[in-house]
Amino acid sequence: MRKQAVVIHELDNVATCVDHFTAGTTISFFLGGSEEQVVLRQDIPLGHKVAIRTIAKNEDVLKYAESIGVATIDIQPGQHVHVHNLESKRGRGDLEQGKEE
């Protein structure tokens, strides 16, 4: 199997694509010791994330077994995960303005 996406930790609910893939493509990745696949629902650019499990609205998006943000909508396996459906919880100056007062 040619690895087409990278999953770092078994808790992750996203994989990072190692090439550009078009909607309808079935990509392979390893999750733990087993080979898994997901059919892409959208084009996924090189280096971008794809959901490998259902991620409910307001659920943490996990990469490296760490939260990289919160889903702003329900995200289905095979969907692109990026700024259009993910809100970061870190480095958000607009959310941190009132903390110093």
As a whole number, the mean pLDDT across the chain is: 91
> E strands within 7-98?
14-17, 26-31, 34-39, 49-51, 60-63, 66-71, 80-81, 86-87
Q: What is the dihedral of CA 38, 43, 47, 52, to 10 degrees?
A: -20
pLDDT of residue 97: 55
Do 54 and 32 contact (CB within 8 A), yes or no? no
Domains within the chain, CATH numbers bracketed: 5-89 (2.30.130.110)
Question: pLDDT (tens digit, 9 = 90+) per residue, 21-49?
Answer: 999 999 999 998 899 999 999 999 999 99
What is the three-class DSSP state of 99? helix
